[in-house]
Structure 1
Amino acid sequence: MRIIAGRFGGRRLLAVPGKQTRPTTDKVKEALFSMIGPYFDGGIALDLFAGTGGLGIEAVSRGCDQAILVDKQRQAQATISHNLAVTKEPERFHLMKMSAQLALDQLAASQTVVDLVFLDPPYRFKIMAELMTTMATAGLLAPAAIIVAETDHSTELITPPIGFSQIKHHDYGLTQITVYQYTKE
Protein backbone atom coordinates (compact mmCIF):
# COMPACT_ATOMS: atom_id res chain seq x y z
CA MET A 1 0.00 0.00 0.00
CA ARG A 2 1.13 3.50 -0.72
CA ILE A 3 0.04 7.10 -0.88
CA ILE A 4 -0.98 7.48 -4.53
CA ALA A 5 -0.57 11.18 -5.31
CA GLY A 6 -0.03 14.67 -3.99
CA ARG A 7 2.29 16.04 -1.35
CA PHE A 8 3.08 12.63 0.20
CA GLY A 9 2.76 10.64 -3.03
CA GLY A 10 4.72 7.41 -3.34
CA ARG A 11 5.33 6.87 0.38
CA ARG A 12 4.63 3.36 1.64
CA LEU A 13 1.97 2.65 4.27
CA LEU A 14 1.71 -0.32 6.60
CA ALA A 15 -1.35 -2.57 6.61
CA VAL A 16 -3.02 -3.56 9.87
CA PRO A 17 -1.83 -7.05 10.87
CA GLY A 18 -4.44 -9.80 10.96
CA LYS A 19 -7.76 -10.13 9.19
CA GLN A 20 -9.97 -7.78 11.20
CA THR A 21 -9.20 -4.83 8.93
CA ARG A 22 -9.68 -4.76 5.18
CA PRO A 23 -7.57 -1.98 3.64
CA THR A 24 -8.74 -0.16 0.55
CA THR A 25 -6.51 -1.33 -2.30
CA ASP A 26 -4.37 1.18 -4.18
CA LYS A 27 -6.43 0.52 -7.32
CA VAL A 28 -9.73 1.29 -5.57
CA LYS A 29 -8.21 4.28 -3.75
CA GLU A 30 -6.98 5.75 -7.04
CA ALA A 31 -10.38 5.21 -8.66
CA LEU A 32 -12.17 6.65 -5.63
CA PHE A 33 -10.17 9.88 -5.73
CA SER A 34 -10.69 10.14 -9.48
CA MET A 35 -14.45 9.96 -8.79
CA ILE A 36 -14.53 12.70 -6.15
CA GLY A 37 -11.94 14.98 -7.69
CA PRO A 38 -8.27 14.25 -7.79
CA TYR A 39 -7.22 17.25 -5.65
CA PHE A 40 -8.77 19.43 -2.96
CA ASP A 41 -8.46 23.03 -1.90
CA GLY A 42 -8.56 22.85 1.88
CA GLY A 43 -11.23 21.47 4.15
CA ILE A 44 -11.39 18.74 6.77
CA ALA A 45 -11.68 15.03 5.98
CA LEU A 46 -13.19 12.48 8.37
CA ASP A 47 -12.25 8.80 8.03
CA LEU A 48 -14.73 7.19 10.40
CA PHE A 49 -13.45 3.58 10.24
CA ALA A 50 -9.85 4.47 9.43
CA GLY A 51 -8.12 1.07 9.55
CA THR A 52 -4.71 2.04 8.12
CA GLY A 53 -5.56 5.73 7.86
CA GLY A 54 -4.82 5.53 4.14
CA LEU A 55 -7.90 7.39 2.89
CA GLY A 56 -7.50 10.31 5.31
CA ILE A 57 -3.77 10.51 4.59
CA GLU A 58 -4.46 10.48 0.85
CA ALA A 59 -7.01 13.30 1.26
CA VAL A 60 -4.47 15.50 3.07
CA SER A 61 -1.79 14.58 0.55
CA ARG A 62 -4.14 15.81 -2.19
CA GLY A 63 -4.96 19.15 -0.54
CA CYS A 64 -7.28 18.80 2.46
CA ASP A 65 -6.04 20.91 5.38
CA GLN A 66 -6.41 18.13 7.90
CA ALA A 67 -7.97 14.74 8.56
CA ILE A 68 -9.65 13.17 11.55
CA LEU A 69 -9.06 9.42 11.72
CA VAL A 70 -11.28 7.25 13.92
CA ASP A 71 -10.72 3.62 14.88
CA LYS A 72 -11.38 1.67 18.06
CA GLN A 73 -9.14 -1.34 17.30
CA ARG A 74 -5.70 -1.15 18.98
CA GLN A 75 -3.78 -2.72 16.08
CA ALA A 76 -5.35 -0.24 13.69
CA GLN A 77 -4.47 2.66 16.01
CA ALA A 78 -0.82 1.58 16.12
CA THR A 79 -0.74 1.21 12.33
CA ILE A 80 -2.35 4.62 11.83
CA SER A 81 0.20 6.23 14.17
CA HIS A 82 3.04 4.67 12.15
CA ASN A 83 1.47 5.76 8.85
CA LEU A 84 0.98 9.32 10.11
CA ALA A 85 4.69 9.49 10.95
CA VAL A 86 5.44 8.52 7.33
CA THR A 87 3.86 11.81 6.20
CA LYS A 88 6.34 13.82 8.33
CA GLU A 89 3.39 16.14 9.06
CA PRO A 90 1.48 14.31 11.82
CA GLU A 91 0.17 17.63 13.16
CA ARG A 92 -2.26 17.72 10.21
CA PHE A 93 -4.04 14.64 11.56
CA HIS A 94 -6.09 13.85 14.63
CA LEU A 95 -6.42 10.19 15.67
CA MET A 96 -9.48 9.44 17.78
CA LYS A 97 -9.04 6.09 19.51
CA MET A 98 -12.69 5.23 20.06
CA SER A 99 -15.87 3.93 18.46
CA ALA A 100 -17.41 5.79 15.55
CA GLN A 101 -20.47 6.80 17.60
CA LEU A 102 -18.39 8.20 20.47
CA ALA A 103 -16.23 10.10 17.98
CA LEU A 104 -19.31 11.59 16.30
CA ASP A 105 -20.62 12.67 19.72
CA GLN A 106 -17.31 14.33 20.59
CA LEU A 107 -17.00 16.02 17.20
CA ALA A 108 -20.56 17.36 17.50
CA ALA A 109 -19.83 18.66 21.02
CA SER A 110 -16.76 20.51 19.71
CA GLN A 111 -18.81 21.86 16.75
CA THR A 112 -16.44 20.35 14.20
CA VAL A 113 -17.64 20.59 10.60
CA VAL A 114 -16.21 18.31 7.91
CA ASP A 115 -16.15 18.58 4.13
CA LEU A 116 -15.31 15.01 3.14
CA VAL A 117 -16.28 11.77 4.89
CA PHE A 118 -15.06 8.23 4.26
CA LEU A 119 -17.42 5.52 5.49
CA ASP A 120 -15.97 2.03 5.30
CA PRO A 121 -17.39 0.15 8.29
CA PRO A 122 -17.10 -3.63 8.53
CA TYR A 123 -19.29 -4.97 5.74
CA ARG A 124 -21.49 -6.91 8.16
CA PHE A 125 -22.74 -3.60 9.64
CA LYS A 126 -25.50 -2.09 7.55
CA ILE A 127 -25.28 1.40 9.07
CA MET A 128 -24.49 3.80 6.22
CA ALA A 129 -27.84 5.61 6.20
CA GLU A 130 -27.87 5.79 10.00
CA LEU A 131 -24.36 7.30 10.10
CA MET A 132 -25.20 9.85 7.41
CA THR A 133 -28.35 10.91 9.23
CA THR A 134 -26.48 11.14 12.55
CA MET A 135 -23.80 13.38 11.02
CA ALA A 136 -26.37 15.66 9.39
CA THR A 137 -28.51 15.93 12.52
CA ALA A 138 -25.44 16.68 14.66
CA GLY A 139 -24.39 19.52 12.34
CA LEU A 140 -21.10 17.84 11.42
CA LEU A 141 -21.41 18.26 7.65
CA ALA A 142 -20.46 21.38 5.71
CA PRO A 143 -22.88 22.44 2.97
CA ALA A 144 -22.21 20.23 -0.08
CA ALA A 145 -20.06 17.81 1.96
CA ILE A 146 -19.07 14.65 0.10
CA ILE A 147 -19.62 11.22 1.68
CA VAL A 148 -17.78 8.25 0.16
CA ALA A 149 -19.24 4.87 1.13
CA GLU A 150 -17.30 1.67 0.50
CA THR A 151 -19.22 -1.60 0.62
CA ASP A 152 -18.91 -5.08 -0.81
CA HIS A 153 -20.51 -5.93 -4.13
CA SER A 154 -23.35 -7.88 -2.52
CA THR A 155 -24.55 -4.95 -0.39
CA GLU A 156 -27.73 -3.40 -1.68
CA LEU A 157 -27.34 0.33 -2.25
CA ILE A 158 -29.13 2.45 0.31
CA THR A 159 -31.72 5.00 -0.59
CA PRO A 160 -30.03 8.23 0.40
CA PRO A 161 -31.47 9.72 3.59
CA ILE A 162 -33.28 13.04 3.34
CA GLY A 163 -30.75 15.79 2.74
CA PHE A 164 -28.42 13.61 0.63
CA SER A 165 -28.22 12.74 -3.02
CA GLN A 166 -26.26 9.96 -4.70
CA ILE A 167 -23.93 11.50 -7.25
CA LYS A 168 -21.73 8.59 -8.35
CA HIS A 169 -21.45 4.83 -8.06
CA HIS A 170 -18.99 2.30 -9.43
CA ASP A 171 -18.11 -1.35 -8.86
CA TYR A 172 -14.47 -2.41 -8.56
CA GLY A 173 -14.47 -6.19 -8.40
CA LEU A 174 -15.68 -7.16 -4.93
CA THR A 175 -15.87 -3.53 -3.80
CA GLN A 176 -18.41 -0.86 -4.66
CA ILE A 177 -17.93 2.85 -4.09
CA THR A 178 -20.93 5.14 -3.80
CA VAL A 179 -20.53 8.91 -3.49
CA TYR A 180 -23.21 11.04 -1.85
CA GLN A 181 -23.48 14.78 -1.46
CA TYR A 182 -25.06 16.52 1.47
CA THR A 183 -27.72 18.84 0.08
CA LYS A 184 -28.97 20.21 3.42
CA GLU A 185 -32.63 20.82 2.69
Structure 2
Amino acid sequence: MRVISGACKGRILKAVPGSSTRPTTDKVKEAIFNMIGPYFDGGLGLDLFAGSGGLGIEALSRGLSKVIFVDKDKKAIQIIHENIKTCGLMEQSEVYLNSAERALKAIIKRGLVFDFIFLDPPYKKQQIPKILETIDKENLLSESGAIVCEHSADVHLPEKAGNFIRKKYEQYGIIAVSIYIYGSEH
Protein backbone atom coordinates (compact mmCIF):
# COMPACT_ATOMS: atom_id res chain seq x y z
CA MET A 1 0.00 0.00 0.00
CA ARG A 2 1.44 3.37 -0.98
CA VAL A 3 0.62 7.01 -1.63
CA ILE A 4 -0.20 7.15 -5.33
CA SER A 5 0.23 10.82 -6.24
CA GLY A 6 1.02 14.30 -4.98
CA ALA A 7 3.56 15.55 -2.44
CA CYS A 8 3.96 12.14 -0.73
CA LYS A 9 3.92 10.04 -3.91
CA GLY A 10 5.56 6.66 -3.49
CA ARG A 11 5.64 6.63 0.32
CA ILE A 12 4.86 3.17 1.68
CA LEU A 13 1.96 3.04 4.14
CA LYS A 14 1.60 0.42 6.85
CA ALA A 15 -1.61 -1.58 7.03
CA VAL A 16 -3.45 -2.34 10.26
CA PRO A 17 -2.42 -5.85 11.38
CA GLY A 18 -5.08 -8.56 11.52
CA SER A 19 -8.28 -8.96 9.52
CA SER A 20 -10.45 -6.36 11.27
CA THR A 21 -9.48 -3.63 8.79
CA ARG A 22 -9.51 -3.89 5.00
CA PRO A 23 -7.29 -1.30 3.30
CA THR A 24 -8.47 0.38 0.11
CA THR A 25 -6.51 -1.08 -2.79
CA ASP A 26 -4.27 1.23 -4.81
CA LYS A 27 -6.47 0.60 -7.87
CA VAL A 28 -9.65 1.70 -6.06
CA LYS A 29 -7.86 4.65 -4.41
CA GLU A 30 -6.60 5.84 -7.81
CA ALA A 31 -10.14 5.55 -9.25
CA ILE A 32 -11.65 7.49 -6.32
CA PHE A 33 -9.28 10.41 -6.72
CA ASN A 34 -9.73 10.47 -10.49
CA MET A 35 -13.47 10.85 -9.82
CA ILE A 36 -13.22 13.65 -7.22
CA GLY A 37 -9.95 15.43 -8.01
CA PRO A 38 -7.44 14.39 -8.87
CA TYR A 39 -5.78 17.32 -7.03
CA PHE A 40 -7.04 19.91 -4.59
CA ASP A 41 -6.33 23.53 -3.77
CA GLY A 42 -6.81 23.34 -0.01
CA GLY A 43 -9.91 22.20 1.84
CA LEU A 44 -10.91 20.12 4.85
CA GLY A 45 -11.42 16.35 4.78
CA LEU A 46 -12.90 13.77 7.13
CA ASP A 47 -11.77 10.14 7.00
CA LEU A 48 -14.44 8.67 9.28
CA PHE A 49 -13.53 4.95 9.28
CA ALA A 50 -9.88 5.69 8.65
CA GLY A 51 -8.28 2.27 9.16
CA SER A 52 -4.66 2.87 8.14
CA GLY A 53 -5.50 6.43 7.03
CA GLY A 54 -4.80 5.71 3.36
CA LEU A 55 -7.68 7.76 1.88
CA GLY A 56 -7.09 10.81 4.08
CA ILE A 57 -3.32 10.70 3.53
CA GLU A 58 -3.84 10.46 -0.23
CA ALA A 59 -6.15 13.51 -0.04
CA LEU A 60 -3.52 15.48 1.92
CA SER A 61 -0.81 14.43 -0.53
CA ARG A 62 -3.00 15.74 -3.36
CA GLY A 63 -3.56 19.14 -1.79
CA LEU A 64 -6.18 19.15 0.99
CA SER A 65 -5.13 21.50 3.80
CA LYS A 66 -6.24 19.30 6.68
CA VAL A 67 -7.83 15.91 7.36
CA ILE A 68 -9.49 14.60 10.51
CA PHE A 69 -8.96 10.84 10.91
CA VAL A 70 -11.35 8.81 13.07
CA ASP A 71 -11.31 5.11 13.91
CA LYS A 72 -12.52 3.12 16.89
CA ASP A 73 -9.68 0.56 16.73
CA LYS A 74 -6.59 1.37 18.86
CA LYS A 75 -4.28 -0.50 16.46
CA ALA A 76 -5.66 1.54 13.56
CA ILE A 77 -5.03 4.82 15.41
CA GLN A 78 -1.43 3.77 16.09
CA ILE A 79 -0.90 2.93 12.38
CA ILE A 80 -2.49 6.25 11.28
CA HIS A 81 -0.04 8.13 13.53
CA GLU A 82 2.89 6.16 12.05
CA ASN A 83 1.69 6.72 8.46
CA ILE A 84 1.13 10.48 8.83
CA LYS A 85 4.56 10.76 10.48
CA THR A 86 6.16 8.81 7.59
CA CYS A 87 4.56 11.27 5.17
CA GLY A 88 5.38 14.38 7.25
CA LEU A 89 1.70 15.30 7.57
CA MET A 90 1.37 15.66 11.37
CA GLU A 91 0.64 19.41 11.21
CA GLN A 92 -2.22 18.84 8.76
CA SER A 93 -3.82 15.95 10.65
CA GLU A 94 -6.06 15.39 13.64
CA VAL A 95 -6.47 11.77 14.77
CA TYR A 96 -9.20 10.54 17.12
CA LEU A 97 -9.95 7.18 18.71
CA ASN A 98 -13.73 7.22 18.60
CA SER A 99 -16.82 5.61 17.09
CA ALA A 100 -18.23 7.29 13.98
CA GLU A 101 -21.38 8.30 15.85
CA ARG A 102 -19.52 9.96 18.74
CA ALA A 103 -17.04 11.60 16.37
CA LEU A 104 -19.89 13.13 14.36
CA LYS A 105 -21.40 14.56 17.56
CA ALA A 106 -18.03 16.17 18.43
CA ILE A 107 -17.68 17.52 14.87
CA ILE A 108 -21.19 19.03 15.04
CA LYS A 109 -20.28 20.78 18.31
CA ARG A 110 -17.16 22.23 16.66
CA GLY A 111 -19.25 23.55 13.74
CA LEU A 112 -16.96 22.02 11.12
CA VAL A 113 -17.90 21.83 7.44
CA PHE A 114 -15.98 19.47 5.15
CA ASP A 115 -15.08 19.60 1.48
CA PHE A 116 -14.61 15.82 1.30
CA ILE A 117 -15.91 13.09 3.57
CA PHE A 118 -14.59 9.55 3.13
CA LEU A 119 -16.81 6.73 4.41
CA ASP A 120 -15.37 3.23 4.30
CA PRO A 121 -17.13 1.43 7.16
CA PRO A 122 -16.81 -2.30 7.85
CA TYR A 123 -18.80 -3.99 5.09
CA LYS A 124 -20.69 -6.22 7.50
CA LYS A 125 -21.96 -3.26 9.53
CA GLN A 126 -23.27 -0.99 6.81
CA GLN A 127 -23.96 2.42 8.35
CA ILE A 128 -23.69 4.65 5.30
CA PRO A 129 -27.39 5.65 4.87
CA LYS A 130 -27.65 6.69 8.53
CA ILE A 131 -24.39 8.67 8.34
CA LEU A 132 -25.47 10.39 5.10
CA GLU A 133 -28.65 11.43 6.92
CA THR A 134 -26.64 12.96 9.79
CA ILE A 135 -24.24 14.76 7.41
CA ASP A 136 -27.22 16.23 5.55
CA LYS A 137 -29.25 17.19 8.64
CA GLU A 138 -26.26 18.85 10.34
CA ASN A 139 -24.89 20.53 7.16
CA LEU A 140 -21.43 18.96 7.56
CA LEU A 141 -20.62 19.10 3.83
CA SER A 142 -19.73 22.28 1.94
CA GLU A 143 -21.97 23.28 -1.00
CA SER A 144 -19.41 22.05 -3.54
CA GLY A 145 -18.28 19.08 -1.42
CA ALA A 146 -18.46 15.35 -2.04
CA ILE A 147 -18.96 12.25 0.07
CA VAL A 148 -17.00 9.20 -1.06
CA CYS A 149 -18.50 5.88 0.07
CA GLU A 150 -16.62 2.64 -0.36
CA HIS A 151 -18.84 -0.38 0.13
CA SER A 152 -19.43 -3.97 -0.83
CA ALA A 153 -20.74 -4.31 -4.38
CA ASP A 154 -23.72 -6.28 -3.05
CA VAL A 155 -24.81 -3.33 -0.89
CA HIS A 156 -27.15 -1.07 -2.84
CA LEU A 157 -27.08 2.51 -1.63
CA PRO A 158 -29.94 4.89 -2.52
CA GLU A 159 -29.83 7.23 -5.53
CA LYS A 160 -30.94 10.04 -3.20
CA ALA A 161 -30.23 10.50 0.50
CA GLY A 162 -31.82 13.64 1.93
CA ASN A 163 -30.44 16.53 -0.13
CA PHE A 164 -27.69 14.35 -1.62
CA ILE A 165 -27.76 12.66 -5.00
CA ARG A 166 -25.46 9.87 -6.09
CA LYS A 167 -23.34 11.50 -8.77
CA LYS A 168 -21.15 8.48 -9.55
CA TYR A 169 -21.15 4.76 -8.99
CA GLU A 170 -18.34 2.43 -10.01
CA GLN A 171 -17.74 -1.22 -9.28
CA TYR A 172 -14.33 -2.89 -8.93
CA GLY A 173 -14.92 -6.61 -8.43
CA ILE A 174 -16.46 -7.05 -4.97
CA ILE A 175 -15.91 -3.37 -4.08
CA ALA A 176 -18.11 -0.45 -5.14
CA VAL A 177 -17.68 3.30 -4.82
CA SER A 178 -20.61 5.72 -4.60
CA ILE A 179 -20.04 9.47 -4.64
CA TYR A 180 -22.70 11.82 -3.30
CA ILE A 181 -23.03 15.56 -3.83
CA TYR A 182 -25.78 18.04 -3.07
CA GLY A 183 -28.67 17.89 -5.51
CA SER A 184 -29.54 21.02 -7.51
CA GLU A 185 -32.48 21.87 -5.25
CA HIS A 186 -30.30 22.24 -2.13
What TM-score does the superposition give when structure 2 sets the normalisation length? 0.96
Q: Which residue of 2 aligns with 1:2?
A: 2
> How much is the aligned-residue C-alpha RMSD, in angstroms?
1.1
Check conservation: 1:111, 1:139, Cα contact below 8 A. Answer: no
**Corresponding residue for residue 25 of structure 1:** 25
| 2:139 partner letter | G
C-alpha separation in 2, matches of 1:85 and 1:59: 15
Tell me, yes or no, if the aligned pair for 2:158 and 2:166 is still in contact at 8 Å. no
CA-CA distance at 1:158 after TM superposition: 2.2
Specify the SS of the correspondent of 2:133.
Answer: helix
Name the aligned partner's letter for residue 112 of structure 2.
T
The aligned counterpart of 1:176 is 176
Kept in 2, the 8 Å contact 1:46–1:56? The answer is yes
| 8 Å Cα contact 1:151-1:175 kept in structure 2 | yes
Comparing 106-115 with 121-130, which one deviates more in the overlay? Answer: 121-130
Contact (CA 8 Å) 1:69, 1:94: kept in 2 or not? yes
Q: State the Cα deviation string for residues 110-142 of structure 1 (Å, max 9, x = none).
A: 111101011110111222121011012122111
Distance 1:158 1:7 in 2: 35
Does the 8 A contact of 1:49 with 1:119 survive in 2?
yes
Once residues 46 and 148 of structure 1 are traced to their aligned partners in structure 2, the CA distance between those partners, rounded to angstroms, is 10
Instruction: Give the Å deviation of 1:83.
Output: 0.3
For residues 125 and 156 of structure 2, the distance between their equivalents in structure 1, rounded to whole angstroms, comes to: 12
1:74-128 CA-partner distances (Å, limit 9, x unpaired): 1101110100101113110000110111110001101111010111101112221
Letter in 2 for 1:129: P
Query: Counterpart of 1:132 in 2: which secondary structure?
Result: helix
Q: Partner of 1:85 in structure 2? A: 85
Q: Which runs of 5+ in 2 are unaligned?
A: none
In 1, Cα distance between equivalents of 2:177 and 2:139: 24
Does structure 1 residue 61 correspond to structure 2 residue 61? yes
In structure 1, list runs of 5 or more residues that go unmatched.
Answer: none
4+ long deviations beyond 4 Å: none
- 1:150-185, CA deviations, whole angstroms, 9 ceiling, x for partnerless residues? 111111232321200111111111100111102472
Identity among equivalent positions (%) equals: 44
Number of residue-to-residue matches in the alignment? 185
CA offset digits 1:33-65 (Å, max 9, x no partner): 111121011110101000000100000100110
Q: Aligned equivalents of 1:67 and 1:56: distance in 2?
A: 6
Aligned-partner Cα distance in 2 for 1:166–1:92:
29
> In terms of mean alpha carbon deviation, does 19-28 or 136-145 score higher?
136-145
Structure 1 residue 2: Cα displacement: 0.3
Q: What's 1:70 paired with?
A: 70
Alignment of 1:1-185 (within 5 A): 1-183=1-183, 185=186
Alignment partners' CA distance in 2, 1:161 and 1:89: 33
Query: What TM-score do you get using the length of structure 1 for normalisation?
Result: 0.96
The one-letter amino acid paired with 2:110 is S
Conservation of the 8 A alpha-carbon contact between 1:129 and 1:160: no
